[in-house]
Structure 1
Amino acid sequence: MLTLERLRADHADALLAFERENRAYFARTVPDRGDAYFTPDGFAARHRALLDEQHARVCHFHVLLEDDVLIGRVNLMDAAGGTAELGYRVGERAAGRGVATAAVARMCRLAAAAYGLTSLTARTTLDNPGSMKVLARNGFLPVGETTLSGRPGVLYARRELTDTPPPAPGSGG
């Protein structure tokens, strides 16, 4: 069963293990976090900084669990004025099973219901068609070009965010 949990201090060890295990996999389609991120001290400092941002309600960070095993992250960054930027990553072992699509759908509902957001944006690199499909399946539309650490990408938006997901493509709704 998939669950989203708000990021906590006690997630640090599992999150670092997840990031290390999937580093090469993620680097194929998203900018790498850099060597310092993966050191115990570097990761601990970054984790504390994320928790501080979350406490200030600037961001809302979540871990994605499947049967109590951390398999991904889903985050809302820079929340202000009813909008935030969605970011997510699902580990290689969970890829291709609809996990990211389901997690983003849950986060869209949570963004509206728990955080009072009315719209979301997201970015992905041009060489990440899987992420583009996840966003499209969740009602995000391409609205422009962007870059991620110098890599060309697409900016997406989902406006009129409600606590219910949009109809699935091909559902007639």
Structure 2
Amino acid sequence: MPILERLRAEHAPALLAFEHDNRAYFARSVPDRGDAYFTPSGFAARHASLLAEQEAGICHFHVVLDEDGSVVGRVNLIDVADGSAELGYRVGEHAAGRGVATAAVAQVCRLAARPYGLTTLTAVTTSDNLASMAVLTRNGFTPVRDITIGGRPGTSYVRRHLPPCDGHSH
């Protein structure tokens, strides 16, 4: 089963490979990160910025590693404030449909409560992303309202009373 780790500087090469290898796959459902993100200097600057935000307690970033150490996903808590944060996640094409996202989100739900001290998580997804909606529902998130994401219809979700997450985690 994949391993969740807090983002560190040494994850950069594997993370860049993950993002590069899945660029077209991700672009089908979320806005593309742009060419500058994938350049060595652009990625290094962005990675350093994420680590600084994490150090400041503004965000909590995680990578999901396969047994061989390759990155197969990301799960992030952003905009941490007043006991709340927004959950975001992505799983690579080759790991999709294997329960990786569900398990990783469950692990982050537990971390959100302790050690991060959060009580509420929010998330959004487009209405055509049935897999993402299933991950959120399996992890105790409930739909709150319809929204628009990048010009596409979507739904906003919330999860209160962390933890425990349900029994889908390993």
TM-score range (shorter-chain normalised) is over 0.9
In structure 2, relative to structure 1, the CA distance for the partners of 1:73 and 1:31 (3 Å cut) is: same
| Structure 1 length-normalised TM | 0.92
Matching residue's letter, 2:72: I
In 1: Cα distance, 2:39 partner to 2:66 partner: 26
- Identical aligned residues as a percent: 68
CA deviations 1:78-133 (Å, max 9, x no partner) are: 11111100000000110001111011011101111110111100011122111000
Quick check: 17-26 or 138-147, which moved more?
138-147
CA deviations 1:6-60 (Å, max 9, x no partner) are: 1111111110110000011111111211111111111111111101100100000
Residue matched to 1:123: 124
The Cα shift of 1:147 comes to 3.0
Residue matched to 2:111: 110
Residue matched to 2:98: 97
Q: Which residues of structure 1 form unaligned runs of 5+?
A: 169-173
Residue matched to 2:11: 11
The Cα shift of 1:150 comes to 3.2
Q: Which residues of structure 2 form unaligned runs of 5+?
A: none
**Structure 1 residue 34 corresponds to structure 2 residue 34:** yes
The Cα shift of 1:167 comes to 6.0
In 2: Cα distance, 1:37 partner to 1:151 partner: 24
Matching residue's letter, 2:9: A
Matching residue's letter, 2:30: V
Partner of 1:45, secondary structure, is: helix
**Structure 1 residue 24 corresponds to structure 2 residue 40:** no
Q: Which runs of 4+ in 1 moved over 2 A?
A: 145-152
In 1: Cα distance, 2:167 partner to 2:22 partner: 32
Q: Aligned pair count?
A: 167
Residue matched to 1:85: 86
In 1: Cα distance, 2:102 partner to 2:20 partner: 23
Superposed CA RMSD: 1.3
